Chain A
Amino acid sequence: MQIPYETTARPDTGLYNAKLGIWLFLASEVMLFGGLFSAYVFLRLGADDGYWPMGLLNVPIGTMNTAILIASSVTVVLAWAALKMRQWAKYKFYMLITIICGIIFLAVKLTLEWPEKFVHFGAFIKKDKWAEYEAYLGNEHRTKLGLSPRPEISGHLHAVEVAVAPEKKGDFDSFLIKHHLVAEAGTDPAHPVLVVKDDHGHGPRPSIAEKLVRIPGVKAVAYEVELDAVNADPTSPDNDRPHFIPRKRSDKVATIKAEDISSWSAFAPKHSSYFAVYFTITGLHGLHVLGGVIIFIYFYLFGEKLYRKNPEHMANRVEVSGLFWHFVDLVWIFVFPIFYLL
C-alpha cells in the first residue's frame, strides 16, 4: 500500500506530503516561541525600574554565533541542491559543514556563554539600604541624570563570611572538606566570623555558597565580592550605559552584609525574570538546534541507502529538514537582537 504524493507533488496543491507537514509543524513552532516571546514582553514591561538588566550578554560571541548559524542555513541549501543535482559527494561535503556549524553553535553556548553565568554572582540590595552602598550602586548620580536605579551589586564571590553555631561545627567542617573550601578567622575582633574561600583564594561558586548558608546552624554574615566594572566605579560616565563588549572585572572587593540583601544568586534562571526567560528561550532554542543536528548526522551517516534507492525522496527529506533548520535560524535571528542588543 503506497501513500500517494509521498515524493511527487499533488497537482492542485503543488506540494508533496512532507513539505506540507513540515510547514504545518513550523506554524505550531511559531506559536510556541511566540508564547515565550510574549512572556518576555510581559515580564519586561512589568519589571520595576532598574530591575531589568542590560549589557550582561557577550555581543561579539553572540554575533559570531549568529553568523555561524546563518552560514549553516546556506550550506544546508547547498547540500539539498547537490542532492537534486545528484552529486552525492558535494552533498556530504556541505552537510558536514552544516553539522559542524551546529555543533560549534551549541559548544559556544554550553562551554562559553552559559557556564560563565553560573559562576557570576549578583545580590539585590534592599531598597532602604541603597544609600549605604552608594559607593557601589551610584544611585544618587543616576537619579540626577534621570537614569534607572541600579539595585544590584555583581561580580565574583571573593569570600563568604559566616557564623557557625559551635554544635554544628562538625557538619560545617565536613562540608568544607567535601567542596575543597577553607575557612579562616575573620580579621575584625568585634565581629567574629569565619571567612570561607576555595583553595585558590577565590570565593566558592554561588551554587556551593547557597548550600553552605543553608546548613542548619550556619548563618551568612556577609559576602565579599570582586566587583564588576559597573559597581567598581558606578559614577563614571563610562558606566552610565550598558556595554556590548564585556568589560574586565575590577580588582576592587566589596563587602555586602547579608541582612542588606533582598535576594542573591548566580546569574541562573532563578536570579531574575530576565535570566529566567533568557535561559528558557535559549535553552529551548538550543534543544531545537540539537534536534536538527541529530537529524542531519543521521542523514549524513545513513542517507546513502535511500539515496541509491530513491534519490528524489532523499532530496525531499533534506529539503524538509532544511526548512526546519531555517526556522531554528529564524528564531535565533529574533533571540539575538531582543536579548543581546535591546
Chain B
Amino acid sequence: MASTTALAHGHDDQDHHGHDDHHEPGFWQKWVFSTDHKMIGIQYGITGLLFLFFGFLLMLIMRWQLANPGDPVPVIGGMLQAVFGDSAFSANADGVKGVLTATGYNAFGAMHGTIMVFFGIVPVAFAAFGNFVVPLQIGAPDMTFPKINMASFWVFFISCVIMLASFFVPGGAAKSGWTSYSPLAGVADMGPGFHPFFNGQTLWLVGMVFNITASLLGAVNFIATIIQLRAPGMTWMRLPFFVWTQFVTAWLLLLAFPPLEAAGVMQLMDRAFGTSFFMPTGLIVNGQLAAWSGGGSPILWQHLFWFLAHPEVYVLILPGAGMVAEIIANNTRKPLYGYKALVGAILVLGFLSFIVWAHHMYMTGMGAKVAGFFQTTTIIISIPSVIIITALMLSLWGGSIRFTPPMLFATAWLPMFGIGGLTGIPLAFNAVDLYLHDTYYVIGHFHYVVAPGTIFAIFAGVYYWFPKATGRMMSPFLGHLHFWPSLIMLNGIFFPMFLQGMAGVHRRWYDGGATYEQIIKPVIHWNEFMSVSAFLLAIAQIPFIINFCWSIFKGKKVVNDNPWDATTVEWVAPSPPGHGNFEKPITVYRGPYEYSVPGANKDYTPQTEPPISEKFPTTAPAGVPAH
C-alpha cells in the first residue's frame, strides 16, 4: 500500500518545485496526517472494520444471554466483568462472574446499534470506499478539499475515542437505545454513582456531535468533487453507478444530519443545563416530581431523530448498491440493465427519503391524516428500491458470469436485500405496524438489509478493490471459505426473527423473552439456534481476516493494473496509484459499462479508450495497452 511518488512523477526527490509543493512526505505526513484521499480512505476503512468487529462482539455477548439467560458468559466472563465493570456484568448465585445484567444488555444493545451504523457502515461504505474509489473513477487527482478531508477523518477519530471511552466511565456506556429517546435519555446516567459530565449518555451525545460534524465535512467534499473534478469527457450520464450512489448519499448526509445535531445539542442542554426541550411537565423520576421546568416535548426528539435516521438507512444501503452494481457489470461482462432507470431511481429515492420518517413513529398517536401521508410516501418509496433491485437482477440475464469472490457476495446481495426490502412493506402500514412495532420482526427486517445486505456489499467491495489498493489479489479459496458459511449463518440468525416477531417477541428483552415464555412458547427455542448461528458466523469471518492481513504482504501480485478487465477509470491508474493518481491526464470517451461491445477486439472497452478513428482503426490494437 506504499504510495510511491516515483511512478507518478519520475522526478528526483531533491527537486523542489515552486508551483507544486510536492516532496517526499515524512512518516507522519504519509501514514498519519495524510491529505491523500487514498490514505484517508484506508484510514476510514481500517477504523470502520475494527468497529464493525467490535459491534459484532457486543452482539455475540448479547446473543449468549438471549439463548442462556442468567448464565455467565463462558471462558471470558470474568474478563468481561473486569473490563466493562459491575454495572454491565454481575456474578450468578454460585459467585461465577460474567452474567450480563439488564443494564449491561441495554448498554451493549444501544452501543451495538450506534457503533454498527455510525462507526462501522457509514465510515466503511461511504467514507472509505467513497474516498478511495470516487476520485479515481472520475479521473481526478484527489478530492476538491484534501485538507478538509483529513480534518474530517480526525474529527471522526475523536468521536471514536469518545464512544469507546464511554464504556469505561462509571456507570458504563449509554443505555437508552441507539435512538436515545427522551425523557429516558434526559435522566439516564445522572445522580449518585455517575459523573455529571463524564457519563455514558452525555459522552454518547458528544461523540455523536463529533461524528456528525465529520460526516458533514465529508459530504461537502464528495459533492464538490463529483461536480467539479470530473475529467474531460466524464459527463453525468457516463459516471459509474457507484459514483451516483455516493453523490446521492452525500446529499442525504448533508441535509439530514444537521437536525440530529441540533437535537443532540438540545438533549445535551437538557442533561447539562437542566433545560426542558424534551422533558414533559409533571415527569416523575424515582418517585419524585423531577426538577425540570417542563413544557418540553418528547415527541420533538423523535421527529428530529427520525428526520435524520430515515435518510440514514438509505445512506447505509446506497453505497453498497453502487458497489454491487459495479461488480455485477464487471463479472457478467455486459452493461448494467437500465442505467438511466437506476440513476432516476436513486434521485427519486433520495428526495422521497426525506418525507417518510414518521413511519418510525406510528405508535405516537399521530392521527389518521398524518399517518395516511406517511404510509403513502413510504409505499411510494418502495418503487425506486424495487427498480434498483430489478435492474440489477435483470443485469444478470444473458451474462457470462464469473463467480469471483466479489461476484459471490454481489450475487447473494440480491436475494438478501430483496428479503430485507420486502419484509419492510408490511411495516409501512400503520395497522400492521401496530402489531409488529418493537418486535423481532423489525429487527429481522432491518438486519437483512444491513447485514447480508450492506455488509455483503462491503465484503464484495473489499475483494474487488483490494488489488487496486495493494497491487495484490486476495485468495479466492479463502474467499469461498468466508462466503458460504457467512451466507448460511446470516440467514440462520435473522430468518427466525420474523417468526419470533410475528409471535410477539419484543425487542430489547434482555432475557430473550424468558419472562414471557408462556406467551411465546412456540418460538422461544429459536434463540439457541440463532445464537449458535451467530457464533458460527464469527468463526466464518476468520478466513476473511487472515486473507485480508496475509494478502497485503503475500498475496499474488497483479499481472497488470486491471486484473478484473474492468472498464471504469480507476483501473487505468497504477496499482496502487501514486500521488496524483494517474500517469497521464485522463480523457473519457465512453460510458462506464462497455463490456462485450460487438466488433471490439476484447470483451471490455475502457472508458478512456478513444473512439475508432484514423489513429485507432479498430479499438486498441492488440498488444498496446489502453490509455
Contact = CB atoms under 8 A, between A and B. Distances in A.
A270 B273 contact: yes
A199 B144 CA distance: 62
A36 B262 contact: yes
A20 B227 contact: yes
Contacts of A272: 276, 293, 295
Interface string B271-284: 00111110001000
B544 interface: no
Interface string B138-163: 00111011101000000000000000
A2 B20 contact: yes
B20 A1 contact: yes
Given A13-B227, A21-B224, A273-B276, A42 B297 contact: yes
B304 to A, nearest CB: 6
Contacts of B376: none
Contact of B274 (A5, A48, A270): A270
Contacts of B91: none
Interface stretch (A23-31, A72-80, A173-181, A215-223): A23-31
A270 B141 contact: no
Interface string B257-299: 1111111011001000111110001000000000111111101
A28 B262 contact: no
Interface in A257-306: 263, 265, 268-273, 276-277, 280, 284
A17 B291 CA distance: 50
A276 B223 contact: no
Contact of A265 (B140, B221, B293, B307): B293
Contact of B265 (A13, A28, A280): A280
A39 B277 contact: yes
B216 interface: yes
B275 A28 contact: no
A10 B228 contact: yes
B255 A31 contact: yes
A46 interface: yes
Contact of B257 (A2, A5, A28, A46): A28
Nearest to B145: A21
Contact of B224 (A24, A268, A280): A24
B146 A35 contact: no
Contacts of B140: 4
Interface string A101-132: 00000000000000000000000100000000
Contacts of A17: 144-145, 224, 228
Give the dominant DSSP class at A's interface.
helix
B275 A269 contact: yes
B228 A28 contact: no
A32 interface: yes
A25 B220 contact: yes
Contacts of A280: 265-266, 269, 275, 277
B263 A270 contact: no
B615 interface: no
A186 interface: no
Contacts of A39: 262-263, 266, 277, 300, 304
Nearest to A272: B293
A20 to B, nearest CB: 5
A279 to B, nearest CB: 8
B588 interface: no
Interface in B218-269: 219-221, 223-224, 227-229, 254-263, 265-266, 269
Contacts of B269: 269, 276, 280
Interface in B116-148: 140-142, 144-146, 148
Given A29-B258, A280-B269, A271 B293 contact: yes
Given A17-B144, A20-B227, A39-B304, A31 B256 contact: yes
Q: Which 6 A-B pairs have the closest CB atoms?
A: A35-B262, A35-B259, A270-B274, A32-B258, A276-B275, A31-B258
Interface of A: 1-5, 10, 13, 15, 17-18, 20-21, 24-25, 27-29, 31-36, 38-39, 42-43, 46-48, 51, 124, 263, 265, 268-273, 276-277, 280, 284
Given A4-B228, A39-B304, A47-B295, 15 more contacts: A1-B22, A1-B579, A24-B223, A24-B254, A28-B216, A28-B257, A32-B262, A42-B303, A51-B295, A268-B273, A270-B276, A273-B276, A276-B277, A277-B277, A280-B275
